[in-house]
Amino acid sequence: MTAITVEGSRNFFGRLQVPGDKSISHRALMIAALGRRPCTITGLSNGDDVVRTRRAVEALGAQVEVGESGVVTVTGGVRGARGPIDLGNSGTGIRLLAGLVAGFDFTTTLDGDASIRQRPMDRIIDPLTEMGASIKGSGENGSLAPLTIEGRPLRGIEYTLPVASAQVKSAVLLAALRAEGPTTVHETVPTRTHTEEMLADAGVRLEREACSVTVWPGEVEPPDVEVLGDPSQAAFWVVGACVAPGSHFIVENVYLGPARGGFIEVLGRMGADITVESSTGNIVTRSSELEGTRVTAEELPGCIDEVPILAVAAAAAEGDTVFEGIGELRVKETDRVAAIAEMLAVLGAGCRIDDDMLAITGVGRAEALGSGTVDSRGDHRMAMAAAIAGAVGRGSMTVEGFEATNTSYPSFARNLEHSTVWAP
């Protein structure tokens, strides 16, 4: 396990580009694998999660070429893998691929690391089985990875998501491409819309309403894709610049599409000085005095990946910040509710967990944040959140398990070193 120590009392002054959006990168590779024409993907995330998806579509039969400039060319052709496919730590990869392969006439085994083997897969097994898929999982209830998927003819269904999840929605929509008849997915809370947007761009017949999407089966003609910067990765730098005195920081060329800017709205309510340049995709942030806010269960899906770093903002803010509907955070790469509580204890912020609610009482300013040691628990977002907390607080912060950042942001430590300077 790798640990790093981050010295505190820094500010953030400069600019950078974060890796390509992880969610879009996964989908770009999978949709390209379903087509027949070569298509290019620029800006693809270089995190391990996306590398695993790239290797998975290759194993399934797609041809993938990585150019010297990082441009990836994919020529589709899904024929089946010769052995199990290891998705590592990628929940997006394993869940979406389950939907992609469910309607093909071959058997696929999808597996991952110890964390993936503990994450709930019944949420995709249930709708895909309703469509006619045959999926055998592990564990007492057969709801854990590894998953063995025996491809069968599928039928379109109408399905209401019991839990707000873009991953489950996407798995069903990808399976719908090979089903008989249309498939409709209803949401009670809107989630990110990457899959339906990208399927529409690939020529798939699709109809969208406020909280539902219908897909008809058909061929896929994937276009070339430019992947913009990941807003979830941008959030770490935005929060750092908000809370550290003397900061003025720009994150460039960030994806600013629907259901991905929730963290900006939350920070704006807290008093953050943030300007979003829609023409460039730049997010400009200056030091701010933050106050607590309430994040409702309805809006949490729009910023759920950013809760660890928003917890750092809450810790540095004045007053209480409340996150409602936090149950989904318990089944991420780790139990993020418990991990956040451990980090807050090191920072000296108050923390109260009550069923589905997390309340944080801030210390009022970054300079009052404590320091010590935080265990990432193998969670990339917890590792990066703790590192930012260490950079803006007093003293120094040791982050254990920092290698988890390779999952999504391998250059994070280097960016942190070169994008901050000692505060005046």
Q: Which residues are catalytic?
A: 305
DSSP string, 48-115: HHHHHHHHHHHHTT-EEEE-TTS-EEEE------SS-EE-TT-HHHHHHHHHHHTTSSSEEEEE--TT
Q: How far apart are CA 346 and CA 344, in angstroms?
A: 5
Q: Give CA–CA dist 383/375, Å, rounded.
A: 8
Distances (CA, A) of 271 to 237, 240, 304, 369: 16, 14, 20, 19
Residue 243: name the closest of 307, 289, 294 by CA.
289
pLDDT at residue 419 in the model: 66
Q: In the prediction, which pLDDT does 281 show?
A: 96
Coil, strand or helix: which one is 391? helix
pLDDT of residue 421: 46
Residue 424 is predicted with a pLDDT of: 33
Residue 38's φ and ψ, nearest 5 degrees, are: -65, 135
Per-residue confidence (pLDDT) for residue 331, from 0 to 100: 85
Q: Under CATH, which number does the domain 3-20+228-422 receive? A: 3.65.10.10
- What's the pLDDT score for residue 291? 98
Which residue, chain included where needed, has tokens 């964390």? 115
Q: What is the pTM of this model?
A: 0.94
Q: Do domains 3-20+228-422 and 22-226 have the same CATH topology?
A: yes
Tell me the β-bridge partners of 225: 41
Q: What crossing angle do the helices spanning 91-101 and 22-34 adopt, rounded to 10°?
A: 20
Indicate the CATH number of 22-226 among 3.30.1330.10, 2.60.20.30, 3.65.10.10, 3.40.50.10490. 3.65.10.10
**CB-hemisphere CA count at 13 Å for 190?**
15
Q: Which residue ranges in the chain fall short of pLDDT 50? A: 421-424
Of 235, 236, 276, nearest to 256 by C-alpha is 276
Tell me which H or E stretch contains 268. helix 262-269
Residue extents of the structural domains in the chain: 3-20+228-422, 22-226
Alpha-carbon distance of 160 to 389, in angstroms, equals 39
